[in-house]
């Protein structure tokens, strides 16, 4: 018995290190956050909801980040995009199993939660009227969930990787085109990672009769709320 006790004590430091090297999220808590959007009954056809992982500090690397759903009998790797977003697995079995979402990072380096953004189009053509509606839908949802008080829709933002050569232009009803200027910044307001190539289209730029045309699919479209 004494030998077993000494062996257990010897293992404690290694077990503590293993716990410090990873972060975890309670699946049931994440589920309740994500189901909020699913149950939202107002128009949302231009919106999408992801489970997103974000660094708390810009020095935290996102390369190699892995998100895994772990239960007593299952283990599933969830694919993360370049912005740390994953399609959330709504699973009754995982909920009943009190599963965990684990990250291969030290605890406290990252934060997580539901993240709503505007749906991208495969043809790269966005009617300004649709973008305005999408922004209004996102603002309405944020207000419903207790956020964005006092904000209004100023426009939308298209984000790409820093070295992407994509172009974004406004094309009026008369066919005249105006290229939008690219700058470096965060894909979403409030992000600490700023190294993306972004294009902002403000609704005050042109009348609603035109469209925004992208040369390739952006990583994300965010609403500009001011």
The domain ranges of the chain are: 24-116, 123-225
Q: Would you state the pLDDT for residue 9?
A: 28
How far, in Å, CA of 200 to CA of 184, rounded?
Answer: 11
Of 81, 211, 215, give the one whose Cα is nearest residue 156.
Answer: 211
In the structure, what pLDDT confidence band is assigned to residue 12 with cuts at 50, 70 and 90?
A: very low
Taking only the tens place, the pLDDT of each residue in 68-121 is 999 988 899 999 999 999 999 999 999 999 999 999 988 899 999 999 999 999
Q: Where are the beta strands (DSSP E) in the chain?
A: 23-26, 47-55, 67-70, 75-78, 85-86, 100-103, 110-118, 125-127, 153-161, 168-171, 177-179, 182-185, 196-202, 211-214, 220-225
In the structure, what pLDDT confidence band is assigned to residue 175 with cuts at 50, 70 and 90?
A: confident
> Does the pLDDT at position 64 exceed 80?
yes
Tokens encoding 29: 């808590």
Q: Would you state the pLDDT for residue 206?
A: 77
DSSP helix/strand/coil, 133: helix
The pLDDT of 141-148, averaged and rounded, is 94
Contact indicator for 49, 114 with CB cutoff of 8 Å? yes
> Does the pLDDT at position 124 exceed 50?
yes
More confident residue, 149 or 197: 197
Task: Kindly give, in sequence order, each residue whose CB lies less than 8 Å from that of residue 88, ignoring residues fewer than 6 positions away.
Answer: 30, 31, 34, 49, 50, 51
Q: Would you state the pLDDT for residue 14?
A: 28
Q: Structure pTM? A: 0.87
In the structure, what pLDDT confidence band is assigned to residue 208 with cuts at 50, 70 and 90?
A: low
How far, in Å, CA of 128 to CA of 209, rounded?
Answer: 7
Tokens encoding 116: 């709503």
């Amino acid at each position: 018995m004494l030998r077993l006790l000494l062996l257990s004590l010897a293992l404690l430091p290694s077990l503590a290190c293993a716990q410090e090297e990873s972060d975890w999220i309670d699946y049931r808590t994440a589920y309740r956050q994500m189901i909020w959007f699913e149950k939202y009954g107002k128009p949302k056809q231009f919106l999408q909801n992801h489970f997103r992982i974000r660094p708390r500090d810009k020095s935290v690397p996102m390369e190699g980040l892995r998100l895994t759903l772990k239960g007593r009998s299952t283990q599933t790797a969830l694919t993360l995009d370049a912005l740390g977003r994953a399609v959330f697995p709504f699973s009754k079995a995982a909920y009943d199993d009190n599963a965990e979402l684990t990250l291969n990072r030290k605890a406290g380096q990252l934060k997580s939660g539901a993240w709503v953004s505007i749906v991208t189009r495969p043809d790269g053509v966005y009617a300004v009227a649709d973008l305005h509606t999408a922004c209004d839908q996102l603002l309405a949802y944020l207000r419903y969930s207790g956020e964005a008080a006092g904000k209004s829709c100023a426009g939308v933002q298209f984000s790409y990787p820093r070295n992407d050569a994509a172009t974004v232009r406004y094309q009026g009803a008369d066919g005249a085109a105006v290229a939008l200027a690219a700058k470096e910044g965060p894909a979403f307001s409030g992000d600490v990672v700023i190294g993306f190539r972004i294009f902002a289209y403000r609704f005050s730029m042109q009348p609603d009769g035109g469209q925004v045309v992208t040369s390739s699919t952006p990583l994300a479209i965010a609403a500009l709320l001011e």
